Amino acid sequence: MPTNRRILLNEIPQGNLSEEHFAHDEVEIESPIDGQVLVKTLILSQDAANRAWMQGATYRSALSSGQVMSSGGIGQVVESRDDRFKKGQLVAGDLGWQEYAVLPGKQIAAVVDHPGPISHGLSLLGVAGLTAYHGLINVPGIHAGETLLVSAAGGSVGSLVGQIGRIKGARVIGVAGGAEKCQWVIDELGFDACLDYKDTSAPLRDQLKESAPAGIDVYFDNTGGDILQAALFAMKMKGRVSCCGAVSMYDGKPKPGPFGVPGLLVTKRLRMEGFIVSDYRHFDQDAIHDLSMWARQGELKVVEDIIDGLENAPRGLIGLLAGENRGKRMIRVAEPD
């Protein structure tokens, strides 16, 4: 009889996340009761937000120690006691870091049929793709000829935001860590430029002045912190900032916000707006239509960074927070039956 290998959040980190904050165990597979579905995990999403969930209630309740580490993922129905799902079907939900999850049917959703690999359901057509699309198109909007700045440009969301901006006719500048990654963002993703925030010879603020002397129209912020700070100084009058996340702030103690809030917002009449992907669920069909089309046409590259093995989930997330991923990081737990 197969068992369920699980990874628990053993301790809420006070500083940087490390492998010691997790515990591995192996338990019997639960049986679903009426209304529940037993799902075998195929692939798990890794997101900077996973770390933010450990810091307290956000757009979801906080994680607590001792629970299976939360994580969105795609799995296959093994046994269903909810009429809406049947055995063998692919579903998405908060499966957590475990091989099998028992969830109420209302907490999972059927995966939309698409011609790509299963992983596309977490990258291009999943939270990453929808976040990039809605957070650019439906929050600040982007127009041809505008200058778009994107932080975490090599990451799951940033890599798509920049490409969508380019498709829409904007000049796209990325921010990433390390010269080699920046070069990859330009060569592989087609950004017009990519600035290295780790470059000690040139502060980001100076690099921005050189790269966008007339200023930035739209800044898509994945990082917060010093990069947001530099971006605010580089914004054009009436510039728009889409606040998607603050990866620089998640792994450690709370830090104050950037200088110039609210001073620069007034002086330059800036708008900063936060969003969550589910706020724009009513436009998901637009996003799926456009993203699929662009990928099919070869306009949009879907970059996936898949690590094999559930046991590597902690290391994968820790590495993601350090910015080591290229594109959408996922953990492959099993192949579908």
Interacting residues with a second copy (CB under 8 A): 52, 58-59, 221, 224, 228, 241, 243-246, 249, 254-276, 279
Phi, psi angle pair for 206, to nearest 5°: -70, -40
- Closer CB to a second copy, 276 or 306, in the complex: 276
Token readout for 274 is 């936060």
Closest distance to a second copy from the beta carbon of 57 (Å):
8
Contact 118, 90 (CB under 8 A): yes
Token readout for 187 is 């060569």
- Closer CB to a second copy, 102 or 244, in the complex: 244
Contact 221, 228 (CB under 8 A): yes
Residue 101 corresponds to which amino acid? A
Closest distance to a second copy from the beta carbon of 251 (Å):
13
- Closer CB to a second copy, 7 or 160, in the complex: 160
* Category of 269 on φ-ψ map: left (φ > 0), alpha (ψ -120 to 50) or beta: left
Phi, psi angle pair for 14, to nearest 5°: -95, -30
Closest distance to a second copy from the beta carbon of 110 (Å):
27
**Residue 330 CB contacts under 8 Å (≥ 6 apart), including other chains:** 43, 44, 45, 46, 119, 122, 123, 304, 305, 306, 307
Token readout for 80 is 């269903």
Contact 166, 191 (CB under 8 A): yes
- Closer CB to a second copy, 174 or 239, in the complex: 239
Crossing angle of helices 284-296 and 156-167, rounded to 10° = 80
Closest distance to a second copy from the beta carbon of 237 (Å):
9
Closest distance to a second copy from the beta carbon of 299 (Å):
28
The full 3-state SS of 168-223, as one line of letters, equals CCCEEEEEECCHHHHHHHHHHHCCCEEEECCCCCCCHHHHHHHHCCCCEEEEEECC
Count CA atoms within 13 Å of residue 26 on its CB side.
5
Closest distance to a second copy from the beta carbon of 51 (Å):
12
Contact 235, 265 (CB under 8 A): no
- Closer CB to a second copy, 35 or 263, in the complex: 263
- Closer CB to a second copy, 172 or 228, in the complex: 228
- Closer CB to a second copy, 268 or 332, in the complex: 268
Closest distance to a second copy from the beta carbon of 106 (Å):
22
- Closer CB to a second copy, 101 or 228, in the complex: 228
* Residue recorded with tokens 């017009």: 192
- Closer CB to a second copy, 167 or 265, in the complex: 265
- E strand or H helix that includes residue 136: none
Closest distance to a second copy from the beta carbon of 232 (Å):
9
Cα–Cα distances (Å) from 137 to 240, 242, 275, in that order, read: 12, 10, 12
Closest distance to a second copy from the beta carbon of 62 (Å):
11
